[in-house]
Amino acid sequence: MSLEELHSIFSVFALPIFDLSSNILRRTSRMADWTECMNYGIHIAREAREVILHAFRIKKAVMLKSSPADLVTETDQRVERMLISAIKAKYPHHKFIGEESVAAGEKLILTDSPTWIIDPIDGTANFVHRFPFVAISIAFAVNKQTEFGIVYSCIEDKLYSAQRGRGAFCNDIPLATSGQEDITKCLLVTEIGAERDQLALATMTSNIHRLLEIPVHGIRAVGTAAVDMCLISTGGADAYYHIGMHCWDIAASALIVSEAGGVVIDTNGSEFDMMARRVIAASSMSVARRIAQAIQAFPCERDDDPRAHPQKAQIEHSTDSGNDVHKKAGGHRRL
């Protein structure tokens, strides 16, 4: 058979197959474009910010969750309900992992289905004290991969966002990390979390000690993991580490850091796992690895470990310095 004959046979059969596969490809890529969901997420985050701004200025009822430093207010719960019901109305088949729903006893399971991972107020202790860094964090994952992230720093009015493969932005201005490679020239950010047990406290303070000893330029804490991570994406700080936070604190901002050119890894140097409750976000891999070498983690139950699921909080009431404080009476384990 001549080459020409072979070619004519091939083109008769191959063309429809090629057409079919390119159609499938086109459809798949159209399916994988989550821009409409992201724009809707931004729209409802703007509405939620109004609720937070109003409540920020007034007296709040405060409740305790896993520890005397793990606070929740009615606004956290209200904003989460508001976000989830708005998303459900538009995308009835989507799934949710929300901080306050999990605290109320809902199971924390990340499946391959489109899932919104929500922290209605990141920085609740700041919110209670009117320390002006409070954020809404919304991540959206499909096949367990984060497709977009939104972090709205409400008081500053800074809206951070990133879509996978499309860069990171703050109020529509493109973001880039500092690119710093030298740990001794780094400004670091971390958080003293909600844990108050001896092992966690000793580990957190010795980590700070070891990093200051390197030495680094300084260590800061803003009070919201989501905003801390976004500061790495702006180049305003060079690296962030945190142990004990949850997936809703950092799922959105991890994508924002990566899309701004940064790296996100586990504190033990391995690949980032949003359920592991350990993170280093840095301007470069060399800085991230140097931090991983210096610090230690205290043990935390994974977010997706069924034993980590909290029982519903039991609350009793007392008062504290102008804010109404409800004290936890029952066992409510989240740490």
- Binding-site residue ranges for Mg(2+): 99, 119, 121-122, 249
Q: Is 305 a catalytic residue?
A: no
Options 80, 119, 147, 303; binder of ligand 2AM; rule CB under 6 A? 119
CB of 99 to Mg ion, least distance (A): 5
When CB distances are held under 5 to 8 angstroms depending on the partner's kind, the choice from ligand 2AM, Mg ion, none that residue 41 binds is none
122 binds Mg ion (CB under 5 A): yes
Catalytic residue among 70, 76, 100, 119: 119
**CA separation, residue 182 to residues 26, 187, 287 (Å):** 44, 11, 6
- Find the binding residues for ligand 2AM in span 61-80 (CB under 6 A): 70
191 binds Mg ion (CB under 5 A): no
CB of 80 to ligand 2AM, least distance (A): 11
Give the number of other CB atoms < 10 A from CB of residue 335.
Answer: 21
119 binds Mg ion (CB under 5 A): yes
Binding residues: 99, 119, 121-122, 249
Residue 143: left if φ>0, alpha if ψ -120 to 50, beta else—which one?
A: left
Of 119 and 147, which CB lies nearer to Mg ion in the complex structure?
A: 119
CB of 155 to Mg ion, least distance (A): 15
Q: Is 124 a catalytic residue?
A: yes
8 Å CB contact between 61 and 326: yes
8 Å CB contact between 133 and 126: yes
Here the tokens at position 310 are 């909290």
Stretch that binds ligand 2AM, among 16-24, 52-60, 118-126, 210-218 (CB under 6 A): 118-126
Of 136 and 142, which CB lies nearer to ligand 2AM in the complex structure?
A: 136
Give the number of other CB atoms < 10 A from CB of residue 169.
Answer: 18
Q: Is 122 a catalytic residue?
A: yes
Residue 22 CA to residue 233 CA, distance in Å, equals 36
Options 195, 238, 259, 303; binder of ligand 2AM; rule CB under 6 A? 195
124 binds ligand 2AM (CB under 6 A): yes
249 binds Mg ion (CB under 5 A): yes
Catalytic residue among 52, 84, 97, 121: 121
**Closest CB to Mg ion: residue number:** 122
Give the number of other CB atoms < 10 A from CB of residue 122.
Answer: 32
Q: Is 70 a catalytic residue?
A: no
Question: What's the 3-state SS for 195-251?
Answer: CCCHHHHHHHHHHHHHHHHCCCCEEECCCCHHHHHHHHHHCCCCEEEEECCCHHHHH
**CA separation, residue 165 to residues 77, 170, 218 (Å):** 32, 16, 32
Tell me which H or E stretch contains 64: strand 61-64
* Coarse DSSP helix, strand, coil percentages of the chain, rounded to the nearest 5 percent: 40, 25, 35
Q: Is 146 a catalytic residue?
A: no
Stretch that binds ligand 2AM, among 22-30, 186-194, 287-295, 325-333 (CB under 6 A): 186-194
When CB distances are held under 5 to 8 angstroms depending on the partner's kind, the choice from Mg ion, ligand 2AM, none that residue 335 binds is ligand 2AM
Residue 128 CA to residue 35 CA, distance in Å, equals 34
- Find the binding residues for ligand 2AM in span 210-269 (CB under 6 A): 223-225, 244-246, 249
Report whether the peptide linkage leading into residue 68 is cis, meaning its omega lies within 30 degrees of zero.
Answer: no
Give the number of other CB atoms < 10 A from CB of residue 314.
Answer: 12
Q: Which residues of the chain form contacts with ligand 2AM (CB under 6 A)?
A: 70, 99, 119, 122-124, 191, 193-195, 223-225, 244-246, 249, 335
Q: Which residues are identified as catalytic?
A: 99, 119, 121-122, 124, 249
